C-alpha cells in the first residue's frame, strides 16, 4: 500500500506525516489491519528495538477531586464505587512502589487526584520521592498532580523527579465538552512548565469519548508540537457512575489503528498503551506491542488490570523483552539532548512531542474511542456494539494495593 510505504519511510526519517495521511490510517479497513501494524512496527523497531518499558502506578490520593472531567471515576459528582482515601504516607507509597519495581517496572508513576497541588502537597511528594529513591536510586519517578503553579515543577525536579505527566486528552476544539472546570490551555501550560523545569514531559490522549477521527489527529499533532518524551494512549474505561458510562465506541482493531497513527506522527517517542488496554484490546494486546514500546504493569489508579505476571508472559510470548534499568528508553538523538537522561526537550525537529488519566478513569497517563471515516469527514469514531457486555465485565474497580490492606498486583 503506497500510504503505508510513505508513512514508514517518513517514520524512519522522523518526518511528520500530513494530516490527510494520519486520517487515512484511521480509515483503513480490517482487511488492511495487519499491514498497518507491520508498517508501524518497522518504525517502532527502528527507534526502540524489541524492548518494552514497564511503568507502575501508585495512586497517592484517590477520589475526592473537585474537577468535572467526564471520563474520570474520581471526578466531582462521580458515583463510581471506587476507593477513596487521602494522601498515602511516604513509607506507604514507597512500599507500593517497591512492589512494582520487583515486578519489573522501570518507572514509578505517582498520581494524586485534584485540580493541582498546594505547596504543602509538593512537600509531601518530595518526601515520598526521597523515600522511593532511598530504597532504589535507579528507579525513574514520574509525578502527576494536576495543574502546576509557578516554581512547583522546579521543586519536583530538585527533589529527584524525572518526569511529569499531564495529558491533553482530546482536541482543543472539543475539550470544553469534556471538562468545564479548567481549560485546554491550562493543560498546555502545565506541560510547558514541566519542560521548563527540565523534567521529561509525559502527555497523551484518551480515545473513545465520542470524538471524531479529526479530533484524534488534532490532539496527536498538538502533542507532537509540545514534544513530550512519552505519549500515553488511553482507551476510555466507561465507569458506571460517570457521564461517559455508556460510551462503548471502540473495537480492538480500531485501537490498533489509533496506536499506529500515534506511532507514525511520533516515531521516536515512547508510545505507551495505557488505561483500557485490557478492556478494549483484549486478546489483541500482543499486537499492540508491535506498535507501542511501553505499558503499565498490573493495576491502574481506580481499576484493575490483568495480572502482572500475565503482562510479563505476554511480552515474552510475543517475542519482546522487558527494558532493563541499564538501558536508555529513548533513541540517542533524544536522550543525549538532556545528557542521556530520561528524555529530551530540545529536539522538535523529529519527535512528537496533564493531569494524567492513566486509565481512562483518571490517573497518570492512562485513560481512554475509536472510529474512522474518510479524510475530511467529522464522522464519529467506530461504532462498536453500544453495550458490549463482554467488555463491560472487564471493568473492575481496584480493591487491592495502595490504600488497602491487600497485596498489590505487580
Residue bearing cell 497541588: 117
CB 196 within 8 A of CB 57: no
Active site residues: 65, 69, 72, 109, 142, 202, 272
Helix axis angle, 213-226 relative to 19-26, nearest 10°?
Answer: 130
CB 239 within 8 A of CB 362: no
Residue 379 and residue 385: Cα distance in Å, rounded? 17
Strands 51-61 and 270-273: unpaired
Residue bearing cell 503506497: 2
CB 201 within 8 A of CB 164: yes
**Listed residue (68, 76, 69, 81) closest to 395, CA to CA:** 81
**DSSP alpha helix (H) spans, 160-239:** 175-178, 184-196, 213-226
Q: Which residues pair with 232 in a beta bridge?
A: 272
Neighbours of 20 (CB within 10 A): 11
CB 80 within 8 A of CB 302: yes
379 DSSP assignment: P
Q: Residue 360, by phi and psi: left (phi above 0), alpha (psi -120 to 50) or beta? A: left
The continuous run of DSSP H or E covering 8 comes out as helix 2-12
Angle (CA) 257 185 114, round 5°: 90
Amino acid at each position: 500500500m503506497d500510504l503505508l510505504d510513505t508513512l514508514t519511510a517518513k517514520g524512519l526519517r522522523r518526518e511528520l506525516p500530513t494530516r490527510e495521511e494520519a486520517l487515512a490510517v484511521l480509515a483503513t479497513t480490517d482487511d488492511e489491519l495487519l499491514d498497518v501494524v507491520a508498517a508501524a512496527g518497522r518504525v517502532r523497531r527502528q527507534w526502540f528495538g524489541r524492548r518494552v518499558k514497564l511503568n507502575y502506578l501508585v495512586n497517592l490520593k484517590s477520589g475526592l477531586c473537585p474537577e468535572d472531567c467526564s471520563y474520570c471515576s474520581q471526578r466531582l459528582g462521580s458515583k463510581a464505587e471506587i476507593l477513596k482515601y487521602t494522601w498515602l504516607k511516604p513509607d506507604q507509597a514507597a512500599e507500593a512502589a517497591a512492589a512494582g519495581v520487583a515486578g519489573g517496572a522501570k518507572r514509578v508513576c505517582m498520581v494524586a487526584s485534584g485540580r493541582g497541588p498546594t505547596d504543602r502537597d509538593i512537600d509531601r511528594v518530595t518526601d515520598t520521592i526521597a523515600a522511593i529513591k532511598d530504597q532504589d536510586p535507579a528507579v525513574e519517578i514520574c509525578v502527576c498532580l494536576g495543574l502546576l503553579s509557578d516554581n512547583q515543577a522546579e521543586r519536583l525536579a530538585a527533589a529527584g523527579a524525572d518526569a511529569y505527566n499531564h495529558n491533553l486528552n482530546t482536541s482543543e476544539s472539543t475539550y470544553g465538552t469534556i471538562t468545564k472546570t479548567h481549560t485546554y490551555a491550562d493543560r498546555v501550560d502545565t506541560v510547558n512548565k514541566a519542560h521548563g523545569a527540565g523534567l521529561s514531559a509525559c502527555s497523551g490522549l484518551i480515545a473513545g469519548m465520542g470524538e471524531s477521527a479529526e479530533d484524534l489527529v488534532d490532539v496527536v499533532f498538538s502533542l507532537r508540537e509540545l514534544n513530550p518524551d512519552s505519549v500515553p494512549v488511553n482507551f476510555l474505561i466507561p465507569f458506571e457512575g460517570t457521564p461517559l458510562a455508556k460510551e462503548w465506541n471502540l473495537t480492538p482493531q480500531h485501537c490498533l489503528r489509533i496506536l499506529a497513527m500515534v506511532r507514525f506522527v511520533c516515531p521516536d517517542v515512547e508510545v505507551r498503551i495505557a488505561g483500557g488496554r485490557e478492556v478494549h484490546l483484549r486478546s489483541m494486546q500482543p499486537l499492540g506491542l508491535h506498535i507501542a514500546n511501553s505499558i503499565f504493569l498490573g493495576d491502574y489508579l481506580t481499576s484493575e488490570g490483568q495480572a502482572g505476571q500475565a503482562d510479563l508472559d505476554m511480552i515474552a510470548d510475543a517475542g519482546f523483552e522487558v527494558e532493563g534499568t541499564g538501558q536508555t528508553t529513548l533513541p540517542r538523538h533524544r536522550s543525549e539532548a538532556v545528557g542521556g537522561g530520561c528524555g529530551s526537550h530540545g529536539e522538535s525537529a523529529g519527535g512528537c512531542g496533564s493531569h494524567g488519566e492513566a486509565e481512562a478513569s483518571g490517573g497518570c497517563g492512562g485513560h481512554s474511542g475509536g472510529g474512522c471515516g474518510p479524510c475530511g469527514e467529522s464522522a464519529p469514531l467506530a461504532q462498536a456494539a453500544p453495550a458490549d457486555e463482554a467488555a463491560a465485565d472487564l471493568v473492575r474497580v481496584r480493591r487491592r494495593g495502595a490504600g488497602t490492606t491487600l497485596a498489590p498486583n505487580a
